[in-house]
Chains A and B, each alone.
Chain A
Amino acid sequence: MPIARALAAIEVANKMAKPTVPSPTKIPIALTVNGVQRQLELAPWTTLLDALRDHLDLTGTKKGCDHGQCGACTVLVDGRRVNACLALAVMKDGATVTTIEGLATGGALHPLQQAFIDHDAFQCGYCTPGQICSAAGLIAEGKAKSADEIRELMSGNICRCAAYPNIIAAIQQAMAVMGSRP
C-alpha cells in the first residue's frame, strides 16, 4: 500500500522533527504610518510589508517576489526607500513610514502619481505603488539628473509590462514639477 507507507513515513518524519522553535511571542511596537501613530503587537518574524498589508490594511504596497528582487514592496522608512519585504517590523519600532496611500495630500495627487497617469506609465499596475515610492525616494536623494542616472537608480523596480520608457518620462515630469532637474 504505497499511500499507507507514505503516511507512515510522514509520521516518522514528524516525530523526528525537533520543535526547536519558540511559540509566537508578540512584541509591542509603534510606527508612524502616513502621518498616523499606530501601535501594533507583532510576532518578530512579521515583515514590515506584512505588517502594512495584513495588520494595518494598507494593501497599496504590493508583495511581488518577497525576496527584495522586484521592488513592488518599496516604501519610505524615515524618508529613505527600502524593500519592506526584507525588513522586520520589530526592527523598525519608532520609525516613520510612508506608503503609496500617504503620498497624496488633501485630495490632490502627488506629482508622481499625476505624472504616471499623464504618461500612461503602467499597464497592469502591480509594480506602480513601488515604482512611485521608489521614485519619491530617488527625487529626495537628489543624485539622479540624466535619464541614464534615473534608469540606473530605478533598477530595483521591475516592470514586467515593460512600461520603462513611460516610467522614466513620468519621473522626469515630476522632477520638473517638484523643482528638480531635468
Chain B
Amino acid sequence: MINFEYARARDVAEAVRQMAGDPSAKFIAGGTNLIDLMKKDVERPARLIDISRLPLKAVAETPEGGLRIGALVPNTDLAYHPVVEQRYPMLSSAILAGASQQLRNMASTGGNLLQRTRCHYFYDVATPCNKRDPGSGCSAITGCNRMHAILGASEACIATHPSDMCVALAALEAKVQVIGPAGERTIAFADFHRLPGSEPQRDTNLEPTEIVIAVELPARGFAKNYTYLKIRDRLSYAFALVSVAVGLDLGDGTIKEARFALGGVAHKPWRDAAAEAALRGQPATEASFQRAADLVLRNAKGLAHNAFKVDLARRAMVRALGQAARATPQSQSNKAIR
C-alpha cells in the first residue's frame, strides 16, 4: 500500500467539493474492497476522503410505497431490516449469500454497488489487464478463465461483477441516487453498471466526481414468489459461479410478471427483457422455464475453462424459477438445493 493523505468529509456537499478539488482522490466508506485493492497496489489514491460519518444511514419508506436506502447503510443492517425481510426478502437473501458477517458489518450499500471485479489478473499488477491498465491487454481471455463472463463480454475484458446484492437490486428494478458538482440525478439500476466494451476500466456510469447517496426500491417486492440461488465452489463465503435472483407474480398457475437477474456471468447483473417477456402469460412449468433460460443464453459464449457455466446457468435458472414458483426460496443456511 502506498502512502496517502486522509481527509474526513463532514457533509455530502463537502465530500463533493473535496472530490471536485482533487479527482485523483477516492471516497472510502466500509473500505472492505478499496483497502484490499490498495494493499495489492491495484488502487493507488494519493488521498482518501472518508465519507463513513456522513448522514446517509437511514432506511425510510417512500411516499410511492417503496424504500429509500441510504448509501452508508451497512449490508448487515439492510439484510436484517424488518421491512426488507418482509417486503423484499429476495434482497435480504442475496445480501446474506455474499461475503462473511464481518465483511457485511463493514460494507456499505453504495460500496457494494461500486466494488470491483475479483478477476485474478485484475488483482495481479504483474499481469496485463485492460481494466486496471487500459490498453495493456486481457490476460484472462487466454489464461485461467473459469470464473469469467459468458454473456456480454468483449475482446478487451471478460471480468464479472462480483456482487450478490446487486443481482437482487437489478431484478427489483432499484434506482440509484447520486450527487455531484452538477447536482443530483437518478440512474436506473440497469443503466448503472456497464458492459466492458472497449472501456473496461469503467465499471459504472457514475462520474468520478459523483457520490452515491441512496438506493431506492420500488413498491413491488415479489415477497411471495422469489428466490436467490447461488452456485459456488464451496458452500459459503465464495463468489458466485452463477447466481439467480427471481421474482414472480403468479395468478392461477400462470405467470403474470417475471423478473430475474443473473450474477457471476457478466460484467454487470444480467437481465434479459425478451426472456422475461416470454414468461408472461405462460404456465409456471419447467417447460416454460427451460424456454426462458434458453433465450437468456442464446448468445452465451464459453471460453477454455468456463464453458461449463452455460449449462450451469441454464439449470440454475430453471431451478430458481421453480423455487420461486413453488414459494420455496433457497435457504442461505441449509444449502441443500431443492
Binding site for B on A (CB under 8 A): 20-25, 27, 43-45, 47, 66-68, 71, 74, 80-83, 86-88, 90-91, 134, 137-138, 141, 143, 146, 148-149, 151-153, 155-157
Contact = CB atoms under 8 A, between A and B. Distances in A.
The dominant DSSP class at the B interface is loop
A21 B6 contact: no
B48 A81 contact: no
Interface residues of B, number: 31
A83 to B, nearest CB: 5
Contact of B102 (A43, A71, A148): A71
Given A21-B3, A149-B333, A155 B28 contact: no
B23 to A, nearest CB: 14
A155 B35 contact: no
Nearest to B53: A91
B326 interface: no
A137 B101 contact: yes
13 contacts: A23-B3, A44-B6, A47-B35, A66-B39, A67-B39, A82-B102, A82-B106, A86-B35, A86-B36, A86-B106, A87-B31, A156-B103, A157-B100
Interface of B: 1-6, 28, 31-32, 35-36, 39, 46, 48, 50, 52, 76, 80, 99-103, 105-106, 235-237, 332-334
A138 B100 CA distance: 11
Given A91-B50, A151-B236, A83 B103 contact: yes
Contacts of B1: 45
Contacts of A83: 32, 102-103, 106
Contacts of B332: 152
Contacts of B28: 88, 91
A86 B32 contact: yes
Nearest to B79: A143
B120 to A, nearest CB: 13
Nearest to A21: B3
Contacts of B334: 148
B236 A152 contact: yes
Contacts of A91: 28, 31, 50, 52
Contacts of B102: 68, 71, 74, 81-83, 134, 137, 156
B322 to A, nearest CB: 22
Nearest to A154: B101
Contacts of A47: 35
A20 B106 CA distance: 30
Given A74-B102, A81-B102, A152-B333, A68 B32 contact: yes
A155 B105 contact: no
A155 B238 CA distance: 10
A129 B105 CA distance: 19
Contact of B5 (A25, A137, A141): A25
A156 B4 contact: no
B100 A156 contact: yes
A155 B3 contact: no
Given A71-B100, A137-B101, A43 B3 contact: yes
Contacts of B36: 67-68, 86
Contact of A138 (B101, B235, B333): B101
Given A20-B46, A155-B237, A86 B333 contact: no
Given A44-B48, A86-B36, A91-B50, A153 B3 contact: no
Given A71-B102, A146-B333, 19 more contacts: A22-B3, A22-B4, A22-B5, A43-B3, A44-B6, A45-B4, A47-B35, A80-B105, A81-B101, A82-B106, A87-B35, A88-B35, A88-B48, A137-B101, A151-B236, A153-B101, A156-B102, A156-B103, A156-B237
A67 B80 CA distance: 26
A87 B101 CA distance: 15
Contacts of B76: 80
A15 B293 CA distance: 56
A146 B3 CA distance: 45
A45 B2 CA distance: 8
